[in-house]
Amino acid sequence: MSHNDPVHIQLATPERWADLVDLFGPERGASGGCWCMWPFLRGKDWKAMTREERRDAFQQKVDAGPAPGLLAYRGSLAVGWIALGPRSQYLRFQLGKTSQPLPEDSEQAIETTHAVTCFYIRKGHRGTGLMSLLLDAAIGHARAQGARQMDACPMETDKPLQWGEGFVGIADVFRRAGFVEIARRSPKRPLMRKTL
């Protein structure tokens, strides 16, 4: 498997669950056993769950649909993940100090906004442009789902990131994809938006 192999993007549907488990690591569950449940829950509720409960809860989301994200493949190997969907479904993103909607955002605007909440790239495939490819595919997917805009609250960085720090995305990747900063409530976490 080479970094030069073409990448294809697929919806994270129930038949792709085994690929998602393989990507995240059956025991590890991506970043510290998150299983991508972090953006859906209040902090205390997330901490109260075991890794297995988070995995099962996320599998229920995949099974119930719509797909909670996209998978990037090189050949038959899942090498990357982006979580996205309607902003209103991500409780922590909605309530978070850095990521909550603007005061002037109407309820209707929020209902037609999708959010990108996290990425996960397989070790050995990081630094190969997968984050940009996944974000471009996510923009197209959100547009096809009728979203009017997309929000994200990525990491602003001027130094190499430590393991796991970039799971929310890198601000420069979002800028290159046409997102603009609409608020900065934390020095390293701009709230960014793209009109679709």
User: What's the pLDDT score for residue 131?
Assistant: 94
User: What's the pLDDT score for residue 158?
Assistant: 76
pLDDT band for 22, please (50, 70, 90 cuts): very high
What is the dihedral angle through the alpha carbons of 136, 107, 68, 47, rounded to the nearest 10 degrees? 120
| Averaged pLDDT for residues 61-70 | 95
User: What's the pLDDT score for residue 166?
Assistant: 78
User: What's the pLDDT score for residue 17?
Assistant: 97
Using only C-alpha atoms, the chain has a radius of gyration, in whole angstroms, of: 16
The burial of 164, by beta-carbon neighbours within 10 Å (0-12 exposed, 13-18 middle, 19 or more buried), is given as exposed
Which of 4-13, 53-62, 161-170, 179-188 has the lowest average pLDDT? 161-170
pLDDT band for 196, please (50, 70, 90 cuts): very high
User: What's the pLDDT score for residue 32?
Assistant: 79
> What's the rounded Cα separation, in Å, for the pair 142 and 145?
5
| 163 pLDDT more than 60 | no
User: What's the pLDDT score for residue 3?
Assistant: 66
The burial of 113, by beta-carbon neighbours within 10 Å (0-12 exposed, 13-18 middle, 19 or more buried), is given as buried
| 124 pLDDT more than 90 | no
CA nearest 101: which of 43, 159, 152? 152
| 2 pLDDT more than 70 | no
